[in-house]
Structure 1
Amino acid sequence: MPNTIANINTLNTWFKKHPRVLVALSGGVDSCLMAYMARRELGKQNAVAVISNSASLKNKDLSDARQFADRYDIELIEIDANEINDKNYRANPVNRCYFCKTNLYQTMQELAQNAYPDYVIINGNNHDDLGDYRPGMQAADEFKVYSPLLECKINKDSIRHMSKHFNLSVWDKPASPCLSSRFPYGEAISAAKLLMVEKAEDYLNTNGFDEVRVRYINGMASLEVPKNEINTLQSMFTAEFKKQITDMGFTDAGIDEEGLVSGKLNRNIQTK
């Protein structure tokens, strides 16, 4: 069991050394915890959450972020990092996340320079992220974005324990990476394709599957749910169910029998 109180104290000490912050909010548990703790430790005026309402963010995550900010009295600013207009991002290379985060942090940096000159930018990267391929971290380094959870060596399990300790509404929210992560590297990304994926995942959600991924594979929808829910999805996967998904623009739809694996499309990346 993580030492929740010790982790909270460690983070509070970190915030005391950084008394004004802009929090890059995604609607997920990591960044929500950062926004909550910053607001709690520094006060509302000194802890401002910023979310990019762009094509790669699910509407559900935007709604979750708005509700979270309202519930915990956190100032929330909505921007549009407009990464979809970056040809490097749209080309979807293996370091796509670098270009996405570059657009985000550049837009946040401009906001800081214009309205919050004494504030530092922070994100929700945690210690577990060091074990995955995360090119967005390079962009964070280049824009001098801080990662308190990572710096304090706090992992995902500890984050959930702290969030539950504070009774945060998102403490058990499933991970929800940006929509562009559903595309194999090299498959061009467009706003229309992102919307197709979002609609398909929403359809699975409305049918009782909370944690899902819909991968866009050569125009086909590859449906992922947790391994223990595959049989349920198979029993529901009628011709009409499939048609609901293909009518969204996919050429075909099928179930990935391996089940949901976060970061599955990173498997073939060779890193040093």
Structure 2
Amino acid sequence: MKQMKDLMTWFHGKEKALVALSGGVDSALVAYAAQIALGKQAVAVTADYKTLSQEELDSAKRVCQEIGIRHIIIEYSELDNPDFVKNDKNRCFHCRTELAEHLVALSKREKINLIVDGTNLDDLMEYRPGIIALKKNGVQSPLVESGFTKSNVRDVAKEIGLSIHDKPSNSCLASRIPWGNTVTAEKLERIEKSEVMIKHLFGVRQVRVRDFGNMASVEVDKNEIVFLDDEKKMSILEKYMNDMGFDNILIDPKGYRPGKLNVITD
């Protein structure tokens, strides 16, 4: 596995590393490499900033136990940040700027000079202002510098036996709210509960509930849309989501694709 060796080599000569770990496969692979290369001098940190789903937080905890890396969870609320809550096109920049500030503060307390994340080459091809914010604050990206695409990450993660090698990509719950619509705790809660219910009812792995106020658009992987044809289960879902304020529930026939809500609504 030449790429895995390249990733581990990236850490050679580094004394310590703080790995920003989200609960996804990219940062998990970086954490694995750091743990192998640096041992106890590698530390993973996950930010519970109130827009991270419980599912992702639980995933982060599990993967750190699996890898054997020390895991720190920091807590704060992005909903206290007015620049984030107003939800303009720079929402992710404000999110990652605040995250970087917490990571830098933690790195100073832990006496760790190197902070890394799970950004890969494919991420650089999308509109990701959050990456710019992290880079501006000194966060480095070993996967990018080692030439990893998302596909490479999954292949290597599978080869080394990481349990989440095929885990669907996810993002913070605020990404389900169109730009220009304020982010609130109530919206985040009903989005998360709806997605959990959809997974429970239909057995799908990839799901997004886009919050358009009284209307919700449900996206699942194209290959899983057929699972939503169960009328009995759909009636259960509709009642559940109606009770949370979604008067209309639409199933997106085009299925899930990232970045779909990168628009400003009036």
TM-score of the two chains, using structure 2 as the length reference? 0.94
Give distance in 2, aligned partners of 1:232 and 1:64: 25
Partner of 2:13: 17
1:117 shift after superposition: 2.2
Distance 2:72 2:89 in 1: 30
Conserved in 1, the CA contact under 8 Å of 2:18 and 2:112?
no
1:106 aligns with 2:106: no
Matched, 1:231 2:213: no
State the shift of 1:64 in Å: 1.1
5+ residue gaps, structure 2, are none
The corresponding residue for 2:163 is: 169
What CA distance in whole angstroms lies between the structure 2 residues aligned with 1:47 and 1:108? 14
Measured after TM superposition, the shift of residue 214 of structure 1 is 0.6
Aligned partners of 1:221 and 1:253 also within 8 Å: yes
Q: Which residue of 2 aligns with 1:37?
A: 33
Structure 1: tracts of 5 or more residues without a match: none
Structure-2 separation of matches of 1:238 and 1:40: 46
Paired residue for 1:64? 59
Name the residue aligned to 1:198: 192
Cα distance, 1:159–1:238 mapped onto 2, change above 3 Å: closer
Q: Percent identity?
A: 39
Q: CA deviation at 1:231?
A: 2.9
Code of the residue aligned with 1:254 in structure 2: it is L
C-alpha RMSD over aligned residues: 1.5
1:78-227 map, 5 Å = 78-114=73-109, 116-207=110-201, 208-227=203-222
CA distance in 2, matches of 1:81, 1:136: 18
Per-residue deviation at 1:80? 1.7
- Residue 2 of structure 2 is matched in structure 1 by 6
**Residue of 253, 261, 266 corresponding to 1:265:** 261
Q: What secondary structure sits across from 1:223 in the alignment?
A: strand
Q: Is the 8 A contact 2:214 2:248 kept in 1?
A: yes
Aligned pair count reads 262
Aligned to 2:240: 244
Q: Which residue of the partner structure matches residue 55 of structure 1?
A: 50
Q: What is the rounded CA distance, in whole Å, between the counterparts of 1:25 and 1:112 in structure 2?
A: 14
Relative to structure 1, the CA distance from residue 224 to residue 32 in structure 2 (aligned partners, 3 Å threshold; closer, same or farther) is: same
Query: Residue 91 of structure 1 contacts residue 188 of structure 1 at CA under 8 Å; is this kept in 2?
Result: yes
Other structure's SS at 1:265 match? coil
Structure 2 counterpart of 1:60, which letter? E
* Stretch deviating more after TM superposition (238-247 or 102-111): 238-247
Q: CA separation of 1:68/1:209 partners in 2, compared to 1, >3 Å: closer, same or farther?
A: same
Contact in 1 for aligned 2:197/2:237 (Cα 8 Å):
no
